[in-house]
Structure 1
Amino acid sequence: MPNLLANNELMAAIDLGSNSFHLAIARLDHHEVRKLASMSEKVQLAAGLDENNYLTEEAIERGVACLARFVGRLDTVSPERLRVVATNTLRQAKNANVFIERANAVLPKPIEVIAGREEARLIYLGVSHTNASTDKRLVVDIGGGSTEFIIGKGFEPILTESLQMGCVSFRKRFFANGEITEKAFEQAIAAARKEIMVISRTYQKTGWDSATGSSGTIKAVKQILQGLGMTDEHEQITFKGVKHLQKQLLKMGHIDKINFADVKDTRKAVLPAGVAVLLAIMSVLGIDTIAYSDGALREGVMYDMLGRFASEDVRDRSVQALLTRYSVDVKQARRVVKTAQNLFEQVQRTLSLTEEDGDILRRGAYLHEIGLAVSHSGYHRHSAYLVQYSDIDGFSQIDKNRLAHMLQYHRRKLKTEGYDTIKSIAGNDLVYLTLILRLAVLINRNRSKQENLTLTLNIAGDKKWQLGIIGNGDNIDLVLSDLDEESQFWQKWGFVLQINPVK
């Protein structure tokens, strides 16, 4: 992929957090991301989840209205240089698709819902680039609906985890009426400790040299403790300081009576819950001091985007890791990739496919046989399942969904409902990519080099495909026989596959 981002060009990231929505606009300056402007609004999307995990209409309207305001700041940023990521609340909401559909109508780029561990990876990327360190460090990010834990060194994460606890969700559970009581604190801390104990042993065994926190809760705690003179000589949060803050909150007794300087009203509402989570983290993991990093998810998203522009896409590293993990026949995968790319390049302009479409096809071609590690029978379904439900660095849920469905339909008979499903996920583009992958897999079915075959693919209208084959040898007769059967399968999707052999 060419480098699409030159020095001084703008890039942006929008982070749809469970508590706050954030926009950051930056420019590339000698391979560093320099933030130029930012916006933040306490949308509190997680507070809009009802008892059945459905977002209320009011919460949806709050979120979409905020994004519309953000878009007003993006007129100088190309959509290709923008990413919009959503976190825990849209992972949990049963009607997340309703919000996403309405938000995408406003946004210049579709929302990517990212998994918890992918969120953790991006947070670490943001922290490590913003606060350079040679330490092996623990990074903690207390969000509105989830809390991410990462151990890493340099720019590389070693352990990533996301736990279901956050300042908004814990406020709803333990401080819903606004009262700050010892019982509420005890219950909140106990609930957080229970979550953290699941990962404590693994994290403490791995170890770290220093601890860093990011995002709103830890920023607010640091500001309060600085004002009270309760940080250490390096202006780090101390466990003693957080315990003191808990006592101060208990004296105040209600969120309406919180009167610390520089703490906004929207932060006051979730402060006791955030403090409870932080106390549990520090006590269970034995953290005495924790520094604060201004870099977090949105900065990580931009650095990840920068890597994609510079052909250092973590998704490609992840694909290679999956090939190793599932003992894939790499030579065969490369043969399918080569054929798929050849066919894609011939029809890309005619079908209005993008470079990103080409990336999806290439990754699907590499991964199409990972399901063989489960079973040979119906391995395409296993391949789809492994992609859909694995934590894969760099891939959003949308990425995985597209790949999984392409893999599910890359072989065997086609059914009308399969066409409807794929089209509903990503329109005609994903249909085209699936058909190209089917051809590439079929042509390489004998698992040997196809140097004696020359392929030409033409589109006569988007549903009539003409495949020309020039070649000789026994293999071409087998390929032609398979393609004749394939052309019958395509009819179920309303496509005509015309084969033009030249021996």
Structure 2
Amino acid sequence: MTTQDMLATVDLGSNSFRLQICHNQNGHLQVIDSIKEMVRLAAGLDEQKNLDQDSQQRALDCLARFGERLRGFNPDQVRVVATNTFRVAKNISQFIPLAEARLGFPIDIIAGREEARLIYTGVVHTLPPKGENMLVIDIGGGSTEFVIGQDLQPAITESLNLGCVSYSMRFFPRGKIHHKNFQAAVNNARAEIQRISVALKNIGWHYAIGTSGSARSIRDVIAAGDTTIDAITATQMHKIANHIIAAGSTKKAKLEGLKSDRTEVFAGGLAVMIAAFAELNISEMTVTDAALRDGVFYDMIGRQLGDDMRNQTIADFQQRYHVDTIQAERVAGLAQMIFNHLSASVSPDHPEQWQQYVHWAALVHEIGLDISHTGFHKHAAYILDQADMPGFSRKEQHILATMVLGQRGDLRKIAEFSQQEMLWLGILSLRLAALFCRARQDIQIPVNHCDIHYDKQLRKLTISLSKERLKHNPLTDSVLLQESVLWQKIGLQLEIKAM
């Protein structure tokens, strides 16, 4: 067995970091190695939502160890996903480069609903199908995900900012627990869950599944007290809660079956789970070992087999925002041709990834027209940056949004990206493709009848067009000249030559 036969995922949670390596045997995953460290990243958030130095150092030390284990892996064999604490930390942009340097691989910060989808993907691939809707609840360190579905694609995904670490810190400082603060935690969680309860109940479910550490810990404590019970029930949870309250803390309660590394955050997770049972009228919940990392594995396999969720998301956005798909394909084809031509001169790493970004951006570059023709590129960029896009990380969404924002108008608004070479070439490719396809008619592809040269050192783009083409396309000629003026304003050169 070689490294090339393996896939690896890194789950950067708010409570723990996990590295798992699997051997992919035609879609069947065999776990080869697994490392878990309790980093408690969420515990390092101060009142301003900034990560303190101690929590950052704990994380960096852990990632350095993970990085050593991942030596020899190619980028397409590893996916690193980060969850709630990475989403909410105000200073995360300064931390990410340090973290990626220690780990050796890029980190994808995923949105809450994308986290929910991946959790569900892991569950649905590891449990036998029953042909009925299941409710999946995953209580993490900083967020809790709720998903309902029975097929590979869930019917609904939701994520709320309540977790075992955040609630333990907020309601049980220094570990002290009494009836008043425990009930306050439950009531607060119920109020949050109430925001989504109607939507969940309208869809409905036949059975409930719990995933991740909090659910497993609650089940283990229940099972330790009664070996005939292999599920979570409200009655058993209230017994545990009363025992903890009577003792004054989880540590003093000395719960049998509870691992020591879960002691500090157990009460927060228990309060959230009790709230979920009460608000959603859950009678019983079974627990699975499937989790986010499993979903990431199966998502990676799907991408390798051409079943990439991101393609479906782009198609859904086209339909939702009534995109002219013929025009989108026209622009996408030309944008990719221009990008391939430009990027060949800079020898980028993983050009196929950037080719895909250009293609996706072109397919949705006009979604803003459904809102307004004036400034539609700004509307489109906002949607791509802020909407839930299953399969896409936040970084990927930002890349698409930036390309779409730069498709027209003053370049000064995106001048800061001119130093990010591949992103900048993607912007230019989409911008030129949209310009050439402005008539919304099939055209002879310009790059077949012209020469495009990019000088990396001079940061100069030269487009040589035949005199005949310029003569028969005066509008294009005029717009290209206007483009050169816009480029000059940000210190770049665009030269149009007749040949």
TM-score normalized by the length of structure 1: 0.93
Answering whether residue 195 of structure 2 is matched by residue 202 of structure 1, we say no
Answering whether residue 343 of structure 2 is matched by residue 345 of structure 1, we say no
Residue 475 of structure 1, CA deviation: 5.2
Seen in structure 2, the aligned counterparts of structure 1 residues 399 and 435 have a Cα distance that, compared at 3 Å, is same
2: distance between equivalents of 1:432 and 1:27? 37
Match of 2:226 in 1: 229
Residue 92 of structure 1, CA deviation: 1.0
Structure 1 runs not aligned, ≥5 long? 1-5
Answering whether residue 151 of structure 2 is matched by residue 154 of structure 1, we say yes
Match of 2:62 in 1: 66
2: distance between equivalents of 1:247 and 1:498? 76
Deviations for 1:130-165, whole angstroms, at most 9, x for unmatched residues?
223233110000011110000011211110100111
**1:15 aligned residue (11, 16, 20):** 11
**1:496 aligned residue (484, 493, 497):** 493
**2:124 aligned residue (124, 128, 131):** 128
Match of 1:399 in 2: 396
CA RMSD of aligned residues (A): 2.0
Seen in structure 2, the aligned counterparts of structure 1 residues 261 and 68 have a Cα distance that, compared at 3 Å, is farther
1: distance between equivalents of 2:347 and 2:359? 17
2: distance between equivalents of 1:423 and 1:172? 43
Q: Which moved more, 1:470-479 or 1:346-355?
A: 470-479
Structure 2 runs not aligned, ≥5 long? none
Q: Matched residue of 2:411: which SS?
A: coil
Aligned length: 491
Match of 1:358 in 2: 355
Match of 1:323 in 2: 318
Deviations for 1:293-315, whole angstroms, at most 9, x for unmatched residues?
11111111121122222221111
Seen in structure 2, the aligned counterparts of structure 1 residues 442 and 129 have a Cα distance that, compared at 3 Å, is same
Residue 56 of structure 1, CA deviation: 0.8
Match of 1:459 in 2: 454
**Equivalent AA in structure 2 for residue 446 of structure 1:** A
Q: Matched residue of 1:85: which SS?
A: strand
Match of 2:295 in 1: 300
Q: Matched residue of 2:103: which SS?
A: coil
Match of 2:438 in 1: 445
Residue 479 of structure 1, CA deviation: 1.9
Deviations for 1:10-40, whole angstroms, at most 9, x for unmatched residues?
1111111111111111121112232221111
**Contact 2:224–2:257 (CA<8 Å) still a contact in 1?**
no
Q: Matched residue of 1:106: which SS?
A: helix
**Equivalent AA in structure 2 for residue 397 of structure 1:** R
Residue 184 of structure 1, CA deviation: 1.8
Match of 1:382 in 2: 379
Alignment of 1:6-405 (within 5 A): 9-133=5-129, 134-229=131-226, 232=229, 235-353=230-348, 354-405=351-402
2: distance between equivalents of 1:88 and 1:380? 29
Deviations for 1:170-210, whole angstroms, at most 9, x for unmatched residues?
11111112122111221111011101111111111100111
2: distance between equivalents of 1:452 and 1:127? 47
Seen in structure 2, the aligned counterparts of structure 1 residues 90 and 246 have a Cα distance that, compared at 3 Å, is same
**Equivalent AA in structure 2 for residue 484 of structure 1:** L
Residue 501 of structure 1, CA deviation: 4.2
2: distance between equivalents of 1:475 and 1:281? 67
2: distance between equivalents of 1:176 and 1:500? 70
1: distance between equivalents of 2:105 and 2:98? 12
Residue 241 of structure 1, CA deviation: 2.0
2: distance between equivalents of 1:367 and 1:294? 38
2: distance between equivalents of 1:131 and 1:142? 19
Match of 1:3 in 2: none
**2:429 aligned residue (432, 436, 439):** 436
**Contact 1:126–1:296 (CA<8 Å) still a contact in 2?**
yes
**Equivalent AA in structure 1 for residue 424 of structure 2:** V
From the two aligned structures, give the one with the greater helix fraction.
2
**Contact 1:136–1:153 (CA<8 Å) still a contact in 2?**
yes
Residue 484 of structure 1, CA deviation: 2.0
Residue 95 of structure 1, CA deviation: 0.9
Q: Matched residue of 1:127: which SS?
A: helix
Seen in structure 2, the aligned counterparts of structure 1 residues 231 and 493 have a Cα distance that, compared at 3 Å, is farther
Deviations for 1:389-433, whole angstroms, at most 9, x for unmatched residues?
111111111111111121111112222x6212x247xx2211111
Q: Which moved more, 1:429-438 or 1:73-82?
A: 73-82
Q: Matched residue of 2:489: which SS?
A: helix
**2:407 aligned residue (410, 415, 434):** 410
**Equivalent AA in structure 2 for residue 162 of structure 1:** S
Q: Matched residue of 2:8: which SS?
A: strand
2: distance between equivalents of 1:132 and 1:431? 47
**Contact 1:122–1:300 (CA<8 Å) still a contact in 2?**
yes
Residue 494 of structure 1, CA deviation: 3.0
1: distance between equivalents of 2:192 and 2:311? 32
**Contact 1:467–1:500 (CA<8 Å) still a contact in 2?**
yes
1: distance between equivalents of 2:481 and 2:252? 76
**Contact 2:4–2:73 (CA<8 Å) still a contact in 1?**
no
**Identity value in percent:** 38
1: distance between equivalents of 2:194 and 2:455? 61
**Contact 2:470–2:498 (CA<8 Å) still a contact in 1?**
no
**Contact 1:132–1:154 (CA<8 Å) still a contact in 2?**
no
Seen in structure 2, the aligned counterparts of structure 1 residues 318 and 483 have a Cα distance that, compared at 3 Å, is same
1: distance between equivalents of 2:76 and 2:453? 29
2: distance between equivalents of 1:328 and 1:231? 57
